[in-house]
Structure 1
Amino acid sequence: MPSHSAPEPDIAADTLELLEWPRLAEHVAGFAGTEAGRRHCRLLPLPASPAESLGLLAETTELLALDGLIEGGLSFQGVADIRATVQLCAKGGCAGGEELLDLAATLAAARRLRRQIEDPQLRPVCSALVGELRTLPELEQRLHFCLEEGGRVADRASAELAALRRRLQAALAERRERLQDLLRRYAPMLQDTVLSERSGRPVLAVKAGAAAQVKGLVHDSSASGQTVYIEPQAVIALGNRLRELQGEERELERAVLLELSGLVGEEAEALHHLQRILVRLDAGLARARYGAWLGAVRPELTDDPETPFELRDLRHPLLLWQQRREEGSPVVPVTVRVGPELRVVAITGPNTGGKTVTLKSIGLAALMARAGLFLPCSGTPRLPWCGQVLADIGDEQSLQQNLSTFSGHIRRIARILAALASAAAAPNGGSTPPPVVHPAGASLVLLDEVGAGTDPTEGAALAASLLRHLADRARLTIATTHFGELKALKYGDSRFENASVSFDEQTLSPTYRLQWGIPGRSNALAIATRLGLDAQVVQAAAEQLRPGGSGEVNQVIEGLERQRQQQQEAAEAAAALLARTELLHEELLSRWQQQKEQSAEIQEQRRRELEHSIREGQGEVRRLIRRLRQGGRSGGREAAETARVTGQRLKRLQQEHSPQPQRVDHGGWRPAVGDRVRLLALGKAAQVLALSEDGRELTVRCGVLRTTVDLSAIEGLNGEKASPPPLPQVQVRSRRNPASRGPDVRTEANTVDVRGLRVHEAEAAVEERLRGANGPIWVIHGIGTGKLKRGLRDWLATIPYVERVSDADKGDGGPGCSVVFVK
């Protein structure tokens, strides 16, 4: 017997393990873009208030929409974990060059992400996160100026360092020349004409027999003893000098790194805040991409504990992952609808029917919504914010603690009750029942096989008493059981409800479908028969059930199941009839549309035939007139009069049968580019190609004709009359400081040269100059490949206080210089 018992683990943490929450968190972490984000997602913390959870859900929604708008998705490339570097610098330590370069890259990436995310109208929550983010462009520019690729300190970082490196390179070149001269002089005595190194010193591979002829310091010899590695005497002093110079170089490099580390340490608070925001954004994007991969939807989460649970077609996320990533079995969804009046749901049915999976699915759904994750459901899931999710799932048997299955369940249930009592204690010392819900949210309790592991009679009584107790203290308790006595609790207490998992007796397999309102049967006798148990044994068991009440209960349940099946079949027949009706309706609409189109085609064909006849008649009249003119006066007057009358009749006929547009007064109608309009002078349709600045003239194309017309010379195809736009109102826009407006000519003070810089370096230089600008700024970037110019133009387009950007005058640089006008 053990001398003492182990301390009880926290029931909330124990519940997370039972629901496999760490496994789900690992799945979410796989969608993060940085190591810090993955580390945060593996913990997947649960907020302590509904407001925090709603904020996380809003972040997930906004980042999911933004990720779909950006080509290639939102990228965290360049973001590094800078916590250790910032902590070291804040304590006065010296960070390495690579760590400082990573910090500079993180600052540049944070600036890029802020530009992509910040939009208070579309993304208010995420914009508030990045709105006060300090990206420290001066610090980034200083780091990039002093450090080269790979973290090496650049020559330009220090004049002393640059001079020392020149002396070092000269000494290295001198030693190289001396060694080459010695190689030529001692060539017959050498095993190899290639210089080697031993302990960082250059050596010659001298034959052992000639070693005495070469003056110098022996550093090593070959394994065979045939070769001796000698540093020639002529370069020993020079090598010592090089060592001294290299030591001085390291000291000067360390001085530069210490200076840069000091600058980082001064901004430690801002950098720590930046790191926290980047990790939060990365975690939010991971939640969004995980939800999109699941096909999940945003839940409607409320802080009202009485909010009903409405989860339609809920699928277990871990089983869904297993189905898609590991080619597992298809996941059968469950639908949960629990009204505000219900407190306990008892799920019954056969083993392996999906009762435990249902428990875990509901528990994970409550935790996922609280953590800001979307739920794999249909429609819009609704549920209250659950401040407590407590579970007793699985076998708690322990040989080390001398616990049976029943004892293990009882100990865990006792911890659940203690957690509920501590969260919602009675205000008057326990004289009245405690409140139903936790003040900070709802309590969800999940019990698997409640009361199992002991005598069935006592277990059923204990389970019934426990569920009644929980109905007074928890917002919702969902319990699975095989006890028939628990199925009758619903009929004596309106806070109870029954549910069951269905079982197909023909195929001897569960359907994993959850049915509400009807208790389930264990189907033990049917399963035993199918598995080949002796018929006499099964018959004897059935005889024992008939006299008791349980047999009658099973008959009632069987009748309810038949009734439900009939209702289901009737509902399916009604759905099929509705579908056929919809198809018929669509077919009728389609035929009506076809007839309408055919009628229009017939009318158009008749109109074309009439126009053709009129044109033929007009041609005949013209020919008649031409002959009359050629024939002289004899008999011509009578024929001419006949031709004139005929022509007038043809014109009236054309006017009567030509389709006239229905002119409707459309007040305020104005054409737009791409619209089709009618030219009143020609009576033809044309397409609008362009509009003048005042909107009173249009450039239109009619066939091959392209012309500019006034607004009054056109109308809509349906007879709309265009209304002219209002006269523009001239407004005087004040500058930030009109009294101190700078000159509009280029000077040294308003010019910044960024040639040779990277885009992010140029952005930092221009941003620094723009802060104090009170007039236009000339940015010299050169022409080259145009990459620097395009990058700067794209960046300047996102800055709110930049009015416009244009090329400079030819005398100021033309296309190689941009003029930035600030508001």
Structure 2
Amino acid sequence: MDHQAEIERRTRSELGWSELKEQLARRSHSQRAQAEARELALTENVATLEALLDRVVEARDLHARREPPPFGEVHDLRAALKRLEKEGVLAAPTLLSIAETLRSLDRLARFLRAQGERAPRLAKDAAGIIDLESIWGAIDDCFGPDGELYDNASSELYDLRRRTADLHRQLTKEMKRLMDVPTIAKHLQDRFFTERENRFVLPVRADAGGAVEGIVHGSSSSGATVFVEPRQVIGLNNQLKVAQMAVYREEARILSELSQLVAEETETIATNLEVGLDLDLIDARARLAVDLDATRPRLSERGDLRLRGARHPLLALAGVEVVANDIHLERGKGLLISGPNAGGKTVCLKTAGLCALMVRGGLLLPVDPDSEIPIYRRVLAEIGDAQSLEQNLSTFTAHLKQLLDFLSLLERDEVTTTIEQPSSPRRRAPQRSLVLIDEIVTGTDPRQGEGLARALLEELVNRTGQLLVTTHYEGLKALPTHDHRFVNANVGFDLEQMQPTFTLHIGTPGTSFALPVARKLGLAERVAQRAESLLEHAENELSALLKDLADQRSKLLAEQDEARKARAQADELERRHRRKLAELKEQGQRALGRGHGEALAELKSARVDLSRARKALREGKLDEEKLRQLDRQVSGAARAIGSHEPRPEPPETKPLAIEDLSPGSEVYVTRLGGSAEVLSAPRKGRVEVRFGGMRTLVSVDELKVPTDTRARALKRAGTTKRRGGDPRLDGPKVVPTQGRTVDNTLDLRGKRVDEALRELDAFLDQALLEGRDNVYALHGRGTGALRSAIREHVQRSPVIADTREADPEEGGDAVTLLELR
């Protein structure tokens, strides 16, 4: 292994990459996929990773909907396929493994192809699995559940096995008979028969000599028994042996035919296996993502690292309650993390490092949505005790050697990049590498160590994409104040609870809290004061400043948390008030509707009385003046009821712009209380619009533009005409009408005049009850007698405001439009 590979191997070992790959392997279905997961390949190709991550998301969503892909048993068939290439014959277990694998892949492909709408990429991949039911079906037809060939695998095999079974029965019968023959029975060691070398034999006592004629096939381990094939069954045994050999040859022929059937499709089978392997690994990634509650990050083109709510994947999988942290760092910058021991600094480093490796392996990350991460060319980590007993190196020396190796490796990367991009050889740009260093330059003199650490950091930050370092050096915490390439961060510590919060705060440095912790643990005050007096004055001031910053941050976070809670409560209260107001408005509208309906019912009753009065007048039983007085009373009541009809609220509108008045656009006419369609461009401050079934000119000042869908709803409803003193209808004598429909048209064709007039009166009463603005009487053309009678009749009706011939598209002179008051 070369030096570079050794550095990367150690980095991945320190981050726990092998443990994470093992978690992936446990979620793979086939042994081959498990092996591939343990050696998971990493790539830097952005297009490849984008496509892979898209597929993992689709598979994860299938699992989330409890519709996981059906992976059955998929065996590693590479050795079997290679044997077939050499014209070999496969054994029965191997053929059964092939059938099981092909059947599983076919079922998987059918499932994924059916998910074309929800998982189009996986469905497209599954299309690469060719249906090979002709192979696995043929194998299944030949073998039983026990893995043995069926008797009917071929007609020849069926006959041969029947012949063998018959001979076996004959031999059994003959051996039982011989055991009862007195001259044989007295020499038997026991009353049973058995087989030696696939031939039936009897257990004869060794001292019987040649008393039982036949062929000896061996003896017992003690030598007291010899196994003799009696002379009487030698012929049957020979026949059975021949029959068994024939069966064996036929079975071998069948296996050869099935092997040839598989051999003809080895390339297709190999392709199916590769597609199945890819899908297996994608599904393993998806299952890991579900267990980690992982999401798909954006791949950062700028090189910025923004992990929101990042969690250490191995701790999360172990069931540990992990504190999520935001890790944000721009390209070419270093993050200096300080704070107490065991506060989570190293966990932050490992989380960032594992995320960098995971994304290159096509894994979703344990982060919140809207996270982004670069594709790092290299991830280098120096974490933990680097002491080397083999090379007789101290912790400090081994640690420093590792950092120098990092610099050397990054310098080579820089040279390579300069060769690849010769257009700007003099410009040194940070490479896309992530360097993680835990407790930089410790184990030596603190003053010299701090200076050396700073010099190394300045050199490393020039050559990396991002640099994450943990430290206790106070001087390094001041580095970001005069070097914009560095950013401070700290992990919190709760002095009251005497435990770290494990929360990363970016922007301020941290302190070790050594003396406060010592006091909490019971250190004598005089000892603590002596320790403080031994510290340099500047160090005391810096520690006090850092502690004050930490306290202020804690207070600010608490206030922010309270503000968020108060805002959430206020939002919830506002939502409740809005719901209550909407409920009250709806209740009021229903109450108005019920009252209006009751009034209409009373009006209907009055109209019934009026109809009866008319009939009495025709019969000479009522004075005509009294009838007109009753008619006026009913019409007045109708107008009063109509004026109090519940009306929809006008829609929200916005100021009118000249482009809003193009033909076909929708406007709201304030005077008419409804939406209309613009028919022509404005001229002299007026514009022609279609309002319901009417065309009219209105002033531009009366128009507004609706901003919600209520205006459209009013327009579709026919813009109900306001009756009874509505000020919006004051002005020109324009009456909007609703177009002719089946519901508002009465067909009177073919009826006698008196019958037609009775139906018309009833129809008008019903129309008034329903709050219609206008109705149509269809009388046809004919002689014109029915049309004249209808128009003369409605002229005397107090509920009719006007009559006219319908528009040509509504029937013309065959239809009369009746506008209600």
Query: SS at the partner of 1:501?
Result: strand
Report Cα offsets for 1:16-51 as digits up to 9, x if no partner. 111111111111222222222222222222124222
Match of 1:687 in 2: none
Structure 1 residues 583 and 128: CA distance shift in structure 2, 3 A: closer
Structure 1, unmatched stretches of 5+, are 671-678, 684-715, 720-823
Report Cα offsets for 1:399-434 as digits up to 9, x if no partner. 232111112212222332232223221748999878
Check the 8 A contact 1:145/1:156 in 2, yes or no.
Answer: no
Report how far residue 318 of structure 1 moved: 0.8
My pick for the range that moved more, 58-67 or 292-301, is 58-67
Match of 1:86 in 2: 81
Match of 1:604 in 2: 593
| Distance in 2 between residues matched to 1:607 and 1:211, nearest whole Å | 125
Match of 1:288 in 2: 286
Aligned with 1:475 (options 465, 469, 479)? 465
Aligned with 2:495 (options 480, 490, 505)? 505
Structure 1 residues 718 and 393: CA distance shift in structure 2, 3 A: farther
Report Cα offsets for 1:42-90 as digits up to 9, x if no partner. 2222124222222221120122234445x65211114322222212222
Query: SS at the partner of 2:502?
Result: strand
Match of 1:463 in 2: 453
Report how far residue 471 of structure 1 moved: 1.1
Report how far residue 285 of structure 1 moved: 0.7
Report Cα offsets for 1:195-247 as digits up to 9, x if no partner. 54455444456789999775545667789999876544332332233223323
1:592 aligns with 2:581: yes
**Structure-to-structure mapping, 1:566-577, within 5 angstroms:** 566-577=555-566
Aligned with 2:394 (options 404, 421, 428)? 404
Structure 1 residues 423 and 546: CA distance shift in structure 2, 3 A: closer
| Distance in 2 between residues matched to 1:42 and 1:9, nearest whole Å | 17
| Distance in 2 between residues matched to 1:413 and 1:489, nearest whole Å | 20
Check the 8 A contact 2:214/2:229 in 1, yes or no.
Answer: yes
Structure 1 residues 156 and 137: CA distance shift in structure 2, 3 A: same
Match of 1:43 in 2: 39
Report Cα offsets for 1:484-515 as digits up to 9, x if no partner. 11112212211111111111223322111111
1:98 aligns with 2:93: yes
Match of 1:555 in 2: 544
Report Cα offsets for 1:774-806 as digits up to 9, x if no partner. xxxxxxxxxxxxxxxxxxxxxxxxxxxxxxxxx
Aligned with 1:581 (options 570, 591, 616)? 570
Aligned with 2:436 (options 415, 440, 446)? 446
**Structure-to-structure mapping, 1:174-253, within 5 angstroms:** 174-182=170-178, 196-204=194-202, 215-217=213-215, 231-253=229-251
Structure 1 residues 193 and 493: CA distance shift in structure 2, 3 A: same
Match of 2:801 in 1: none
1:11 aligns with 2:7: yes
> TM-score w.r.t. structure 2 length?
0.71
| Distance in 2 between residues matched to 1:131 and 1:717, nearest whole Å | 62
My pick for the range that moved more, 460-469 or 407-416, is 407-416
Query: SS at the partner of 2:621?
Result: helix
Q: Which amino acid aligns with 2:554?
A: Q
Q: Which amino acid aligns with 1:299?
A: P
Query: SS at the partner of 2:166?
Result: helix
Report Cα offsets for 1:332-388 as digits up to 9, x if no partner. 111111123x52111111111111011001111111111111111222210111121
| Distance in 1 between residues matched to 2:771 and 2:164, nearest whole Å | 84
Structure 1 residues 7 and 288: CA distance shift in structure 2, 3 A: closer
Match of 1:395 in 2: 385
Structure 2, unmatched stretches of 5+, are 649-673, 676-691, 693-711, 717-739, 745-769, 774-821
Between the aligned residues of both structures, percent identity stands at: 32
| Distance in 2 between residues matched to 1:641 and 1:234, nearest whole Å | 139
| Distance in 1 between residues matched to 2:307 and 2:296, nearest whole Å | 12
Check the 8 A contact 2:179/2:185 in 1, yes or no.
Answer: no
1:339 aligns with 2:322: no
My pick for the range that moved more, 571-580 or 195-204, is 195-204
Report how far residue 550 of structure 1 moved: 1.8
Q: Which amino acid aligns with 1:598?
A: Q
Check the 8 A contact 2:312/2:322 in 1, yes or no.
Answer: yes
Query: SS at the partner of 1:311?
Result: strand
Query: SS at the partner of 2:377?
Result: strand
Report how far residue 6 of structure 1 moved: 11
Check the 8 A contact 1:445/1:477 in 2, yes or no.
Answer: yes
Q: Which amino acid aligns with 2:587?
A: Q
Report how far residue 587 of structure 1 moved: 2.2
Check the 8 A contact 1:661/1:718 in 2, yes or no.
Answer: no
My pick for the range that moved more, 250-259 or 344-353, is 250-259
Match of 2:621 in 1: 637
Query: SS at the partner of 1:556?
Result: helix
Query: SS at the partner of 1:473?
Result: coil
Match of 2:348 in 1: 358
Query: SS at the partner of 1:511?
Result: strand
Match of 1:370 in 2: 360
> TM-score w.r.t. structure 1 length?
0.70
| Distance in 1 between residues matched to 2:498 and 2:51, nearest whole Å | 47
**Aligned CA-pair RMSD:** 4.3
| Distance in 2 between residues matched to 1:580 and 1:718, nearest whole Å | 47
Check the 8 A contact 2:303/2:465 in 1, yes or no.
Answer: no
Q: Which amino acid aligns with 2:429?
A: V
Report how far residue 392 of structure 1 moved: 0.4
Report how far residue 459 of structure 1 moved: 1.1
Query: SS at the partner of 2:369?
Result: strand
| Distance in 1 between residues matched to 2:212 and 2:632, nearest whole Å | 127
Q: Which amino acid aligns with 1:537?
A: V
**Structure-to-structure mapping, 1:609-688, within 5 angstroms:** 609-610=598-599, 613=602, 637-638=621-622, 657=641
Query: SS at the partner of 2:275?
Result: helix
Report how far residue 483 of structure 1 moved: 0.8
Report Cα offsets for 1:428-464 as digits up to 9, x if no partner. 89998784344xxx21000011111111111111111
Match of 2:429 in 1: 436
Report how far residue 521 of structure 1 moved: 0.8
Check the 8 A contact 2:440/2:471 in 1, yes or no.
Answer: yes
Check the 8 A contact 2:325/2:504 in 1, yes or no.
Answer: yes
Check the 8 A contact 1:499/1:514 in 2, yes or no.
Answer: yes
| Distance in 1 between residues matched to 2:207 and 2:135, nearest whole Å | 61
Report how far residue 589 of structure 1 moved: 0.2
Aligned with 2:163 (options 160, 164, 167)? 167
Check the 8 A contact 1:424/1:434 in 2, yes or no.
Answer: no
Match of 2:684 in 1: none
